[in-house]
Structure 1
Amino acid sequence: MSLKIGVLMGGKSAEREVSLRTGEAVYNALRQKGYPCVKIDVDNNIVSRINEEKIDLAFLALHGKFGEDGAIQGLLEILGIPYTGSGVLASAMAMDKITTKKMLLFEGLPTPLFILVGKEEKGLDGMPSIAGRIAGEMGLPLVVKAPTQGSTIGITFVHQERELIPALELAFQHDPVALVEQFVEGVEVTASVLGNDEPIALPLIEIVSVTGVYDYEAKYTTGMSSHIIPPRIPEERQDLVKDLAVRAFKALGCRGLARVDFIVDRQGKPYILELNTIPGMTATSLSPDAARAAGIEFPELVEKIINLALNKNPASEGI
């Protein structure tokens, strides 16, 4: 094969280590498929590296800021190099959980109630006053998030009012605005969506963490979480989740592969939590497991993502 692929990995975000693992897995799959490929650690010399390697396509194995937020996508657009996954705008919107939720609400898609707290409010009202106001308006429990981080970085589950201030301070370490979201108790389900203009949802996965929280450790430590396929929710609820996932994927203009995370509450109502435009592709990651349940082994999934980047075969071919 003459197509030379550069696996862009690593980067400068807090998710660098996970990205390196994703990149290594993708690189090995490409070699197994016979593609000429090279690993490129994304740093300040990325443009010269790309030019030196003379790649024909970039496989984006980056997570977090500067990789999943439209920044590297914009650079590749300028360089005229095709790349895997969503474009600049979709990547930027999906990376920002606040923008994502606003888009979901505009499209009439279900997402938990939320309010925003700006870092500048600390000096105006004081943190105890802010915490009291949030608890009064939203009730407890709550989830406080840093809206532009992935892999649950900067997230806190708040069960008591006194936990709000440290939760906000943690979020402010990463972003100038904290997203305070209603906690929805239920089953955590994720839907991987594959395609471009006519995307499809792969088999759903229910996530069960050993600690009860699907945090960074649970996501990337073998044995800390279980992936249950199919999830333990009624089949008609599964169909609804798949439909909502595809609608969310289209609403943000995603392409290639993305993952939509849900909570299905005790009454069976699904709520969209967020979208991930470059899902993890490590040994413990969700999207490869979903693809495998659909009969697509990891090297074939990688190749499908490449074909979608080149606007070739439809995602549903062979499924």
Structure 2
Amino acid sequence: MRGPWHVAVLMGGWSAERSVSLMSGEGVARALESRGHKVTRIDMGHDVAARLAEVAPDVVFNALHGVPGEDGTVQGMMDLMGLKYTHSGLAASVIAIDKQLTKQTLVPHGIPMPDGLIVESESLYAADPLPRPYVLKPVNEGSSVGVAIVTEDGNYGAPVGRDVAGPWQEFDHLLAEPFIRGRELTTAVLGGRALLVTELCPKSGFYDFDAKYTDGMTDHICPAEIPDDITEACKAIALKAHQLLGCKGTSRSDFRWDDERGLAGLFLLEVNTQPGMTPLSLVPEQAARLGIDYAELVEQIVEEAL
């Protein structure tokens, strides 16, 4: 389907990543308008189905992040409405948003991921689920929302203190994983190919929500200054994970690499089915390094959906 198109840009919502979604959505909307397309911005509320039916776009650019825009809920609604939309469909979204389901899907196919177990938050006040240091994270949130690194000399207590602020106060269940020392790497997939590898060097030492979305808090080294075999492994794993999960459009795979262990120290942490499209986001940065400007990137994602 050739343009110009009428695109509904779905953004905002009520997840913990609302502010990021609004930034992504506005960037996408402006890019499409600069290319001559008609854009309707929709800040998702509980009347989203009625709004989409009223607008009747050619395609929906799903710029939502987190639940319910990234977990299959909105995808299923749009499937029922017969709407075309960007990024992954219902099944891929359901699996990829859930870190434990992602492991169950990918690890049997040889994708290296950290061991882990689901724990009841209440149990943390009695004993550590793993030897320290370990990581606790929500099972189905993105953007490092609610991630805690529990160390021997940290301020969470031993065991974790009931009154100490952390994800255990917000979520009934958490995923516990061994802490992997080393470096943060990420690889985008677009149009059936892996793009580049970026190393993320947060000045705070931890690539959390603030480090991701606050200008100047994280240095991006793109392409990453790492051995060729690690670069090729990141790209191969990201593409294989994208395909095994059934992702569409673009995805981004996040890694930890223990550089003292070589290839054996590379682990996939998660696959993001709806990567950010903000000025600090990683997919637009990698695309730009390959000569694909922001507006062209947005159009490519829409074209695949159509």
TM-score bin, normalised by smaller chain: over 0.9
Contact 1:148 1:175 in 2 (8 A): no
Contact 1:187 1:206 in 2 (8 A): yes
Deviations along 1:123-165, whole A, 9 cap, x unmatched? xxx544332xx2xxx3221110011111111110111282652
So what's the TM-score if we normalise by structure 2?
Answer: 0.93
In the other structure, the counterpart of 1:317 is none
RMSD after superposition? 1.7
Contact 1:184 1:263 in 2 (8 A): yes
> What is the deviation of 1:14?
0.9
Determine what percentage of the aligned residue pairs are the same residue: 40
Residue 209 (1) aligns with residue 202 (2): yes
Q: Name which of 270, 282, 290 aligns with 2:286.
A: 290
Q: Is the partner of 1:40 in helix, strand or coil?
A: strand
1:127–1:112 distance in 2 versus 1, CA, 3 Å: closer
Q: Name which of 239, 244, 247 aligns with 1:254.
A: 247
1:166–1:25 distance in 2 versus 1, CA, 3 Å: farther
In the other structure, the counterpart of 1:313 is none
Rounded Cα–Cα distance in structure 1 between residues aligned with 2:46 and 2:283:
30
Residue pairs, 1:1-319, within 5 angstroms = 1-119=3-121, 122=122, 127-131=124-128, 134=129, 138-160=130-152, 162=157, 165-166=160-161, 170-195=166-191, 199-266=192-259, 267-269=261-263, 270-310=266-306
> What is the deviation of 1:60?
0.5
Q: Between Structure 1 and Structure 2, how many residues are aligned? A: 297
Rounded Cα–Cα distance in structure 2 between residues aligned with 1:240 and 1:254:
19
Q: Mark the runs of 5 or more structure 2 residues left unpaired by the alignment.
A: none
> What is the deviation of 1:248?
0.9
> What is the deviation of 1:54?
1.7
Structure 1 runs, 4 residues or longer, greater than 4 Å off:
166-169
Contact 1:149 1:174 in 2 (8 A): no
Rounded Cα–Cα distance in structure 2 between residues aligned with 1:171 and 1:229:
31
Report the residue type matching 2:82 in the other structure: G
Report the residue type matching 2:172 in the other structure: P
Rounded Cα–Cα distance in structure 1 between residues aligned with 2:158 and 2:21:
31
Q: Is the partner of 1:139 in helix, strand or coil?
A: coil
Q: Is the partner of 1:203 in helix, strand or coil?
A: strand
Q: Mark the runs of 5 or more structure 1 residues left unpaired by the alignment.
A: 311-319
So what's the TM-score if we normalise by structure 1?
Answer: 0.89
Q: Is the partner of 2:226 in helix, strand or coil?
A: coil
Q: Is the partner of 2:262 in helix, strand or coil?
A: coil
